């Protein structure tokens, strides 16, 4: 059944845009199902999985405030958008027979569990996929920071950031043919060179908690499982 994964507990971070397919906005259920399959194939290996999904496919606080909306209100709207994405992922995963919990940083008891750290850890031990929704619950943050925070709290061994490219490049690989992918890069290099892996607060939090970030392509079928078993191309930030 292939090589054994070298991780026991991980956090998968994906942006909201990863769920919109080619639509340019919102949710594309076949794309959500495809990503759920990727998660299932890692869950099948016995790996404990946390997920954080962004909300940018529905609403971004900064965009709202640029159009005159009060910033914190716009950020709360962004956080609510992540809850919708989390519910869509929950539905897709449960359709594949995987037990999940959506755990929200903002209380909404009819829809999701409130975040209680020890309870979430217990879910993971029981091999339930924990989808952490509503970001950190605070405006002025991003879901990248939420991912780093939850991964630290849950003692994950690494954050896997699924993107459209297979790692971190020195320049945009879609624009420059000679763009070079880093195999390894330090947190400080990411910050100094503005490499755009995650926002600065997320990178700093990961650095302070010695939490590696592995950037890989989610567009590659079987990519998540491959990366967990040490195959495929990626960039490790540590
Ligand atoms: N957000 C927030 N606090 C958080 C996480 C998210 O205020 O802890 C808001 C913020 O407005 C952000 C939006 O939710 O723009 C969607 O999250 P994000 O931009 O991180 O989504 P992604 O880019 O990953 O799709």
Q: What is the pTM of this model?
A: 0.97
Q: How confident is the model at residue 2 (pLDDT cuts 50, 70, 90)?
A: low
For residue 3, tell me if it sits in a domain: no
Looking at the chain, list the stretches that DSSP marks H as alpha helix, in order from N- to C-terminal side. Answer: 29-43, 61-66, 71-95, 117-125, 143-153, 187-192, 200-208, 223-228
For residue 1, tell me if it sits in a domain: no
Say if residues 225 and 194 touch (Cβ distance below 8 Å): no
pLDDT of residue 228: 93
pLDDT in tens, 81-134: 999 999 999 999 999 999 999 999 999 999 999 999 999 999 999 999 999 999
Report, as an integer, the average pLDDT of 55-80. Answer: 97
Distance CA 132, CA 162 (A): 16
Query: Under 8 Å CB-to-CB from 17, ≥6 apart: which residues?
Result: 54, 56, 57
For residue 54, tell me if it sits in a domain: yes
User: Please, what is the Cα angle at 76 between 141 and 109, to 5 degrees?
Assistant: 110
Say if residues 58 and 16 touch (Cβ distance below 8 Å): yes
How remote is the CA of residue 136 from the centroid of ligand 1, in Å? Answer: 9
142 marked ligand binding residue? yes
DSSP state of 62: H
For residue 2, tell me if it sits in a domain: no
Q: What is the CATH number of the domain that holds 150?
A: 3.40.1160.10
Residues with CB under 6 A from ligand 1: 15-17, 54-56, 60-62, 75, 78-79, 81-82, 135-136, 138-139, 141-146
In this predicted structure, the answer to whether residue 1 has a pLDDT above a threshold of 60 is no
How remote is the CA of residue 13 from the centroid of ligand 1, in Å? Answer: 12
For residue 201, tell me if it sits in a domain: yes
For residue 4, tell me if it sits in a domain: no
Residue-averaged pLDDT of the chain = 96
Q: What is the domain count for the chain?
A: 1
Q: Which two tokens stand for residue 89?
A: 């992922």
The backbone torsions φ and ψ at residue 167, rounded to the nearest 5 degrees and listed phi first, read 150, -165
ipTM: 0.98
In this predicted structure, the answer to whether residue 230 has a pLDDT above a threshold of 90 is no
Say if residues 27 and 57 touch (Cβ distance below 8 Å): yes
CB atoms within 10 A of CB 202: 24
In this predicted structure, the answer to whether residue 173 has a pLDDT above a threshold of 70 is yes
Q: Which atom of ligand 1 is nearest to the CA of 143?
A: 20
Report, as an integer, the average pLDDT of 158-175. Answer: 94
* Sheet hosting strand 235-237, strand order edge to edge: 113-114, 100-104, 129-133, 48-53, 9-14, 158-163, 213-217, 235-237, 184-185
pLDDT in tens, 177-211: 999 999 999 999 999 999 989 999 999 999 999 99
How remote is the CA of residue 216 from the centroid of ligand 1, in Å? Answer: 21
How remote is the CA of residue 231 from the centroid of ligand 1, in Å? Answer: 31
The backbone torsions φ and ψ at residue 114, rounded to the nearest 5 degrees and listed phi first, read -75, 160
Mutation choice for ligand 1 from 57, 61, 89, 202, CB with most ligand atoms inside 8 A: 61
Per the structure, the complete domain to which residue 212 belongs is given by 9-237
Report, as an integer, the average pLDDT of 10-35. Answer: 96
Cα dihedral sign for 164, 169, 174, 179?
negative
- Any idea which of 1-15, 29-43, 58-72, 178-192 has the lowest mean pLDDT? 1-15
SS3 content of the chain, % helix, strand, coil (to 5): 40, 20, 45
């Amino acid at each position: 059944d292939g090589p054994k994964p070298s991780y026991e507990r991980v956090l998968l971070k994906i942006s909201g845009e990863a769920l919109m397919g080619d639509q340019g906005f919102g949710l594309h259920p076949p794309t959500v199902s495809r990503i759920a399959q990727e998660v299932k194939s890692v869950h099948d290996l016995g790996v404990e999985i946390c997920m954080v999904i962004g909300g940018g496919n529905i609403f971004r606080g900064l965009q709202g405030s640029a159009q005159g909306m009060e910033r914190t209100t716009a950020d709360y709207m962004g956080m609510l958008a992540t809850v919708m994405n989390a519910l869509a992922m929950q539905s897709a995963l449960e359709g594949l027979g995987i037990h999940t919990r959506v755990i929200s940083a903002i209380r909404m008891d009819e829809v999701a569990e409130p975040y209680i750290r020890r309870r979430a850890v217990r879910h993971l031990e029981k091999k339930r996929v924990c989808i952490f929704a509503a970001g950190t619950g605070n405006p002025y943050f991003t879901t990248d920071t939420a991912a780093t925070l939850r991964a630290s709290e849950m003692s994950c061994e690494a954050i896997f950031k699924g993107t459209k490219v297979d790692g971190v490049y020195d320049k945009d690989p879609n624009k420059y043919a000679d763009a070079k992918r880093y195999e390894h890069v330090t947190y400080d290099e990411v910050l100094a060179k503005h490499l755009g892996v995650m926002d600065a607060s997320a990178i700093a939090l990961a650095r302070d908690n010695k939490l590696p970030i592995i950037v890989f392509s989610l567009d590659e079928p079987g990519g998540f499982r491959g990366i967990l078993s040490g195959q495929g191309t990626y960039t490790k930030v540590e």
